[in-house]
Structure formats: structure tokens, C-alpha cells
Amino acid sequence: MPPRVKRPSPCVCLTMRRLTSSVTKYYDRVLAPCGLTVTQYAVLMNVSRSEHSSVTELAYMVELERSTLTRILRPLFKQGLVVDKKEPGARNSQLGLTEEGRKTIGRATPLWLKAQDDVKLKLGEEGRLALEKMVGSLSDI
């Protein structure tokens, strides 16, 4: 079956979804050797920057619904990359990275930087600046 051609859509929302899907899939392919998706990588990086945050605090930082973040964290807990360091009987979680989590970030960061460079190169400086301007202008609607 020949690859499907993505045709322009008059719907701005659909066009944006296609764009973010394509970029996300690219980052995911580049990060695949580390066993992470770009979303999981972003969550790990935020856990490393704000050790001892609760799930609610982390959700606020990464701008995700708490339930969505919980789904993203589940495999990171299973892989032994993130741990909850809360005291027994405490209500709020205190998320932290394990040593394996730190090692995984160390392996993933050069791959993430490659993806960043590749996308920036594809956009060009003018395209990157236009993208930043577009995001800024649409962020408050």
C-alpha cells in the first residue's frame, strides 16, 4: 500500500494535530533506543528538576491533567525509573528519580538533542521563529 499523502485541511485544528502528531512520532522514534517516548522523557526531566513534587504539582508543571500524568507515570514506575518517596501515612506523593532513572536520562538526552537539532534544521531559523510567534499568539485563546 502506498504511503498516504497528508492533504491540507481547511480546519486549523486538524492541521495542528497532524503537525504535532508528526513531530511527536519523530521524537518517539529517535528516543526509542532508550525505551522512552518524548512525553515520558519530558516527565522524567521534570521529576529530576523538582524532586519530591507531588503528582498534582508535577501535573501543574507539565500542564497535563493529573489522570493523564498518572497514566504516563505508570510505566516509569514499573521500569524502576521513578519512585514515590513519601513517608508512610503521608497523603501527598514525593516523586523522585531512581539511579536507573538518572542513567536513562543520561542516555536519552543526547538522542533528544539530536531530535531537537533535526527539527530545528528542518524548520530553519525563520520557521522556528515563526513557530514560536504562532505558539505565543495562540496560547491565550
Tens-place pLDDT, residues 5-64: 667 778 999 989 999 999 999 999 999 999 999 999 999 999 999 988 999 999 999 999
Number of domains in the chain: 1
CATH number of the domain that residue 107 is part of:
1.10.10.10
The answer to whether position 126 is within a domain reads yes
Over residues 66-117, the pLDDT tens digits come to: 999 999 999 999 999 999 988 776 778 899 999 999 999 999 999 999 999 9
Domain interval for residue 72: 36-135
Whether 27 maps to a domain, the answer reads no
2-5, long-range: CB within 8 Å, 24+ apart, which pairs?
Answer: none
Is the residue at 19 inside a domain? no
Residue 3, pLDDT > 80, answer no
Is residue 57, in this structure, part of any structural domain at all?
A: yes
pLDDT score for 118: 98
Residue 14 falls inside a structural domain: no
Confirm whether 140 is domain-assigned. no
Q: Has residue 16 been placed in a domain? A: no
